[in-house]
Structure 1
Amino acid sequence: MSTQLSFDLPARAALGRDDFFISPSNALAVAMIDTPDTWSNGKLLLIGPKGSGKTHLAHVWAAQSGARIISALTLQEDDVPDLLRTPLVIEDIDQITKDHALETALFHLHNLAQAEGRALLFTAKSQPQHWGLTLPDLASRLQAIQTATLEAPDDTLLTAVLMKLFADRQLNPAPDVIPFLALRIDRSFAAAQQVVAALDKAALDAGRAITRAFASAALDKIREDSAHSDAQQE
C-alpha cells in the first residue's frame, strides 16, 4: 500500500492572477478588479464570506496597481498621509466597528484619498449597513461605495477551491477525492477550508495517503464531532 509522506508545513496560499479560478459566481467581481478605471470615485468594496477569494483578488489588484495592503485593525490617523503615497488595499474594514479611533482614522483616510484621487480597495464580509458603524459620516460614505460581491461557489468553483486548498498545503489526494468531497460537503468556502484542514491533520497523524476511503472516514469524523459539539451546547 502506498504511503504519502507528510510534513507539518505551513499552508502557503498561491495568490497570483493565474491562480484564481474564474466561474460564474465570481466573474463579475474579477472583471471589476481588472477594470479599476470604472470604479466610482476610484473606490471599490469587495464583499464575500471567509475563504471566498477576497484576499486573493486584493493581492491581484495590488500587484497590478502597486498598492499597499494593510489590515483595517492597524489603521492609525497619524499614518494616513504616508499610507496614501500609493493606491491602498484595506482588508476586513467591517472589523473596525465600535472602535472610535479606527473609525476616525478610516474617515480621514477616505476623505484624503478622495481629495488626492488615490484609488482604494476595501474588503469585508457584508454590506456596510450591517456593520454597526458609530460615525454617521463614515457610514454614509462607505454605504455609497461601489461594491463587488463574491457569491457562494458553484460546483465548478468549489472543485477548483478544493484543488487550490490541497495545493496550498502541498497535499496530493487521490484523483477521485476532490469530486467525492465536492458532492458531500456544504456548498461554502468555509466547509472546503474545514475539510481540507481536517484531512491534512488526519493524514499527518496517521501517516496515510489521502484516498477516497480515508476522506470518507474523515468526513464522518467531522460530522460526529460537530454533532457532539452541538449537543453539548444545548
Structure 2
Amino acid sequence: MSRKKAPVQLPLGIGLRDDARFENFVSGDNGLARAELERAAQGRGEQYIYLWGHAGVGCSHLLQSCCHAADPVRRTAVYIPLAELSHAGPELLEDLDQLQLVCIDNVERVAGQPEWEEALFHLFNRMRAIGHVLILAADRSPRSLGLKLPDLESRLNWGLVFQVRPLDDETKEFALKARAEARGLKLSDEVVRYLMHHGSRDMANLLVTLDKLDHESLSAQRRITVPFVKQVMGW
C-alpha cells in the first residue's frame, strides 16, 4: 500500500501580489503568450510553458496571474520566486508535483548548479507523468541558461517557449494611465510624459513609481502633478 504524501510545506512570506492578474496585464505583442498561459492555468492548455525576457517585461506578473486564474476553477497552485527562495535548497522542489499548477520564476538563479538542475529535471518528469502543469520563467532562453545537465536543457525546450517582449512607449503610457484609473487616480498626459522621460522606462519600475506617488498623494492629500512628482521623486 502506498504511503500518502505529507502536504507541501513552503517558506513563509511568499505570496501573490493582488494586482498581478491577467486583467491588469497589457499584452502588447504578448497576446498569444497571455492566452496560452491563461488556458494552461485553468487546465485547458499545455502542460509545460517556458517564458523568458529581461527584468521589467512582466514574466513575474504573468506567473502570478496564472496562480490567481487557477483559484476560481479550484486548481491548486503555487508561485516559487527563486530570486527569494534559492537559499532554501533544491529540497524546495520536492513534492510540488502534488499541486496541479507550479509556477517557478527566476530559473536562471539556479542554472549551472547540479543539485538544483537534477531537482528541476525530476520535478519536470513527475509533473508531466501525472498531467499537472509546470510554468517556468527566466531572463534568458533555455539554450542560453548555461545548464550542465543536457537532459534538463532538452526538457526545457519541449512545449511552448515564449519571449515576453517589452511594450512600446505609447502602450506603456496607456498601461500606466489604466493602472492609475483602476486605483481611482487621475494622471494627466503631462504627468505621464514626465514619468516616462525622467524615471526608469521599464514597466515594473513605472508601476513601483506609481505605487509611491499614490501613497504620498494620499498622505499629503494632494493631486499628482508634475511639481508633486518632482518633490516626491527628487527628479
Q: Structure 1-normalised TM-score?
A: 0.68
1-side partners of 2:54 and 2:78: how far apart?
22
1:31, distance to aligned residue in structure 2 (A): 1.5
| Mapped contact 1:50–1:189 kept (Cα < 8 A) | no
| Mapped contact 2:97–2:126 kept (Cα < 8 A) | no
2:51 match: 46
Whether 1:71 and 2:81 are equivalent positions in the alignment is: yes
2:176 match: 162
1:107, distance to aligned residue in structure 2 (A): 1.0
2-side partners of 1:174 and 1:61: how far apart?
29
1:228 match: none
Whether 1:175 and 2:191 are equivalent positions in the alignment is: no
1-side partners of 2:37 and 2:96: how far apart?
24
Q: Structure 2-normalised TM-score?
A: 0.68
**Structure 1 166/17 Cα, relative in aligned 2: closer, same or farther at 3 Å?**
same
Identity across the alignment (%):
26
1:111-162 deviation line (CA, Å, top 9, x unaligned): 1112222111111111012211111211221133421222111234312443
Q: State how many pairs are aligned.
A: 206
Q: 1:22 aligns with which of 27, 30, 43?
A: 27
2-side partners of 1:194 and 1:63: how far apart?
21
| Mapped contact 1:77–1:108 kept (Cα < 8 A) | no
2-side partners of 1:75 and 1:62: how far apart?
23
Q: 1:188 aligns with which of 184, 202, 206?
A: 202
1-side partners of 2:89 and 2:136: how far apart?
13
2-side partners of 1:190 and 1:15: how far apart?
11
Cα RMSD over matched residues?
A: 3.5
| Mapped contact 1:153–1:187 kept (Cα < 8 A) | no
RCO greater where, 1 or 2, for CA within 8 Å and sep 6 or more? Answer: 1
1:45, distance to aligned residue in structure 2 (A): 0.7
| Mapped contact 1:58–1:121 kept (Cα < 8 A) | yes
1:2-59 deviation line (CA, Å, top 9, x unaligned): xxxxxxxxxx661233222333x221221211232442xx100122222222222222
1:64, distance to aligned residue in structure 2 (A): 2.8
- Aligned letter for 1:175? S
1:105, distance to aligned residue in structure 2 (A): 0.8
| Structure 1 unpaired stretches of 5+ | 1-11, 223-234
2:11 match: none
**Structure 1 161/127 Cα, relative in aligned 2: closer, same or farther at 3 Å?**
same
Q: Alignment partner of 2:54: what SS?
A: coil
Q: Please give the residue correspondences for 1:71-220 in structure 2 after superposition, counting only pairs within 5 Å.
A: 71-72=81-82, 73=86, 74=88, 76-77=90-91, 79-163=93-177, 172=185, 174-176=187-189, 177-182=191-196, 187-189=201-203, 192=206, 196=210, 210-215=224-229
Q: Alignment partner of 1:35: what SS?
A: helix
2:6 match: none
